[in-house]
Amino acid sequence: MRLADFILRNREPIVAQWEAFASTLFPAAAGMGSLALRDHAKQILEAVARDLQTSQTRGAQHEKSWGQAPVPIDAPETAAQTHAVLRARHGFNVIQLAAEYRALRASVLRMWMDDCQPEAPHLDDIIRFNEAIDQALAESVGLFSEQVDLARNLLLGMLGHDMRSPLQTIQVTASYLGALNAGERVSEAAARLIRSGARMQSLLDDLCDFNRTRLGLGIRVTPTNVDLAKVFADELDQLRAVHPDRQIELQLQGNTRGVWDGPRLQQLLGNLVINAIRYGASNAPVRVVVTGDEAEVRFEVRNSGPAIEQSLLERIFDPLQRGPDHEKRRDSDGSLGLGLYIASEIAKAHDATIEARSDQTETAFAVRLPRNTVLSG
């Protein structure tokens, strides 16, 4: 019997084996009834059978095996895709999802080969069946990954939104305690709360900005008339207060006025300087050099210290990247590894370029900020 006919005539025992296997996938399968465990198994089998019954040239088969089969325009969601969405909502992971297809493949082929005895099974049916299962698996995993990404991004967005109010309450209360002058111990405790609150706010802002970029929204910018000399001086004053043991220098030259998002550029500079403080030599200054001309403003953050390896330098602006000795840093538990990524996204929102270079003499991050451009966001 040809495999397509076998599948259509034996849907119930095949689906029963699907259900039996799915019921073992804990903890997601716990408490799920028969209908939920079977889900779209019947429809997936019918789609596989239709594929087996459809004539196919060798060229078309080759393209399908390479994942290059044509996709109909405005095609409805397949049974495999719907199955993936429902499995994601029930808490299955991608390994469990793939295991369902592995078990389905094995059970169908075993049952069919037993049924074919004493005749030999059609080899072409086996090849076509494997292709169809792989296609269904690819459809499931693709949409499953999208659903997981969407759920994660929505969770991050809600978390960032809901954390702002209690954090602001902590910061306001700490500032109030600090203003009471109720003794040295209270003042020191309030100062610690203020510093910790500021750090938490920075991490939360990084998290929210990262989430916006992963949702495809980019960094929001609001351009106004800005003097970068003043904006950058304010930011460096704050960083000197937080890092009193480090020397941070600012060198200005030329016209530093323009229409940009001042707070965002202040955040960009702060991220670069903090990175230089973390990974630069502690006995050497961090230097910020700002140069303005008619077309653009260029600013660089330079520090001495060990050179960054070329392999790391090539992905330095990727999210969740950290220096190779990050775990040895005293502030390693306070970084999400998003600072340079967010800096690059702020630059992108201003149609600016950002690049890094590093050798045994110096590491530098340079930003070229055009004056006349339509800002995104």
Segment 224-277, tens digit of pLDDT: 999 999 999 999 998 898 788 999 999 999 999 999 999 999 999 999 999 999
377: in domain: no
Q: Do 299 and 361 belong to one domain?
A: yes
pLDDT of residue 335: 58
27: in domain: yes
Segment 111-163, tens digit of pLDDT: 999 999 988 899 999 999 999 999 899 999 999 988 887 777 766 766 666 67
pLDDT of residue 323: 61
Side-chain-side CA neighbours of residue 76 (13 Å): 3
The domain total for the chain is: 3
pLDDT of residue 373: 55
Q: Please count the helices (runs of H) and the strands (runs of E) in the chain.
A: 13, 7
Q: Supply the CATH number for residue 303's domain.
A: 3.30.565.10
DSSP-H helix ranges across 314-369? 339-349
Q: Do 270 and 355 belong to one domain?
A: yes
Q: Do 248 and 179 belong to one domain?
A: no
C-beta of residue 278 within 8 angstroms of C-beta of residue 302: no
Better pLDDT: 365 or 208: 365
Residue 28 has pLDDT above 60, yes or no: yes
Q: What is the mean pLDDT of residues 81-93?
A: 91
pLDDT of residue 161: 64
Side-chain-side CA neighbours of residue 79 (13 Å): 15
pLDDT of residue 207: 75
Question: DSSP letter string over 34-70?
Answer: HHHHHTTHHHHHHHHHHHHHS---HHHHHHHHTT---
Q: Supply the CATH number for residue 7's domain.
A: 1.10.490
Q: Do 254 and 358 belong to one domain?
A: yes
Instruction: Write out the two tokens for 145.
Output: 């990954």
Q: What is the mean pLDDT of residues 280-287?
A: 94
Structural domain of 202? 166-214
Q: Do 232 and 210 belong to one domain?
A: no
Angle subtended at Cα 192 by Cα 190 and Cα 193, rounded to the nearest 5 degrees = 65
Q: Do 90 and 191 belong to one domain?
A: no
Residue 168 has pLDDT above 80, yes or no: no
88: in domain: yes
176: in domain: yes
For the ranges 34-48, 214-228, 271-285, the lowest mean pLDDT is seen at 214-228
Better pLDDT: 144 or 372: 144
C-beta of residue 186 within 8 angstroms of C-beta of residue 177: yes
Distance CA 323, CA 311 (A): 11
Q: Do 228 and 257 belong to one domain?
A: yes
pLDDT of residue 72: 61
Better pLDDT: 156 or 51: 51
pLDDT of residue 148: 81
Q: Do 71 and 171 belong to one domain?
A: no
Segment 292-331, tens digit of pLDDT: 999 999 999 999 999 999 989 999 999 866 665 554 444 4
C-beta of residue 304 within 8 angstroms of C-beta of residue 284: yes
Residue 332 has pLDDT above 50, yes or no: no
Report how far apart, in Å, the C-alpha atoms of 335 and of each of 44, 311, 339 are: 45, 21, 8
Q: Do 202 and 324 belong to one domain?
A: no
Give the bridge partners for 366, in sequence order: 300, 355
pLDDT of residue 331: 45
208: in domain: yes
263: in domain: yes
Tell me the pLDDT band of 49, cut-offs 50, 70 and 90. very high
Mean pLDDT over the full length of the chain:
86
Q: Do 138 and 171 belong to one domain?
A: no
Q: In what order do the strands lie in the sheet with 296-303?
A: 248-254, 286-292, 296-303, 363-370, 353-358
The residue out of 105, 128, 153 marking a domain boundary is: 153
Instruction: Write out the two tokens for 66.
Output: 């390479």
Tell me the pLDDT band of 333, cut-offs 50, 70 and 90. very low
Q: Do 116 and 237 belong to one domain?
A: no
Q: Do 61 and 12 belong to one domain?
A: yes
C-beta of residue 84 within 8 angstroms of C-beta of residue 140: yes
376: in domain: no
Distance CA 369, CA 202 (A): 24
Segment 186-204, tens digit of pLDDT: 888 888 887 777 777 777 7
The residue out of 145, 180, 214 marking a domain boundary is: 214
pLDDT of residue 56: 86
Residue 85 has pLDDT above 60, yes or no: yes
363: in domain: yes
Angle between helix axes 94-116 and 11-22 (nearest 10 degrees) is: 140
pLDDT of residue 301: 98
Peptide bond into 118 cis (omega under 30): yes
% pLDDT > 90, the chain: 57
Q: What is the mean pLDDT of residues 367-375?
A: 77
Tell me the pLDDT band of 62, cut-offs 50, 70 and 90. confident
C-beta of residue 159 within 8 angstroms of C-beta of residue 186: no
The DSSP secondary-structure symbol of 78 reads: P
